[in-house]
Amino acid sequence: MASTQPSENTQRAGKTPKGSKTRLRIREAAIELFAQNGFYATSLSDIGERASIQRGALYYHIQAKEELLFEIVSEIVEAVLEQGRTIAGEPLPAAERFRRMIVFQTQALLDRRDQLIIYMRDGYALTGERRERFRQMQADVEAIWASVLHEGQEAGEMRQVDPAGLKSIILLVNSPYAWFHPGGRLDSTEVGEIIADLVLRGIEAPSKTPGE
């Protein structure tokens, strides 16, 4: 498992709490600009200008824009990971837990749509230790899905699904950001329910008839 120790840059940036008002302004500006223009097309100067922060103050809080990228994308994965572990441990049939994981993850990601855009498009731009930590978090999420799916298969609730099929399910859950618009006909939870219905219809084991 990848190290979870903060990098040197992160430690230096720790001079100010991540929840400080100035850092939050920087973070929100980065989310807006990364989502709008992309990570590579956004400079720290752009972020400082959007946040109305002088260059010196900006570098006091942030050492590099990759630090912001990691913070933005890891936050969304950590939220999914934490709730996924909770749902996976509930005393419910595996198929119902799998459904709840689909609905929660869809809702959680769409409610952070700009962060999700950044995650899907720019997460690959992370380097070094940050990339390894990010990939490990992604693997941890997939492992939770796989464990619940396996329980469902062992219990006869769900069909056998190839690992590539599971990756496709997770990609499907992550994908509505491309067309979803807050305030539209469907809210994020309703989208999650639709996806859950589609997925479960495909992987639930057929009901046994009496006498089988």
The CA-atom distances, in angstroms, between 200 and each of 108, 113, 193 are 19, 24, 10
- What is 8-63's CATH topology? Arc Repressor Mutant, subunit A (1.10.10)
> How do residues 138-150 score in pLDDT, each as one tens digit?
999 999 999 999 9
Whether 163 and 145 have beta carbons less than 8 Å apart is answered as no
Whether 130 and 7 have beta carbons less than 8 Å apart is answered as yes
Look up the pTM and report it. 0.81
Q: What spatial distance separates the first Cα and last Cα of the chain, rounded to whole Å?
A: 45
Model pLDDT, residue 54: 87
Tell me the Cα Rg of the chain.
20
For residues 2-41, b (16+ Cβ closer than 10 Å) or e, as one string?
eeeeebebbeebeeeeeeeeebebbbebbbebbbeeebee
DSSP string, 74-108: HHHHHHHHHHHHHHHTSSS-HHHHHHHHHHHHHHH
> How do residues 153-195 score in pLDDT, each as one tens digit?
999 999 999 989 999 999 999 999 889 988 889 999 999 999 9
Domain limits of the chain? 8-63, 69-203
Model pLDDT, residue 20: 84
Q: Is the pLDDT confidence value at 6 over 90?
A: no
Average pLDDT, the chain: 87
- Could you tell me how many residues make up the chain? 212
- Residue 138: which residues within 8 A CB-CB, separation 6 or more? 77
Q: Is the pLDDT confidence value at 18 over 60?
A: no
- Residue 196: which residues within 8 A CB-CB, separation 6 or more? 99, 102, 103, 106
Model pLDDT, residue 211: 53
CATH code, residues 69-203? 1.10.357.10
> How do residues 57-78 score in pLDDT, each as one tens digit?
888 888 899 999 999 999 999 9
For residue 170, the SS3 value is helix
* DSSP bridge partners of 158: 204
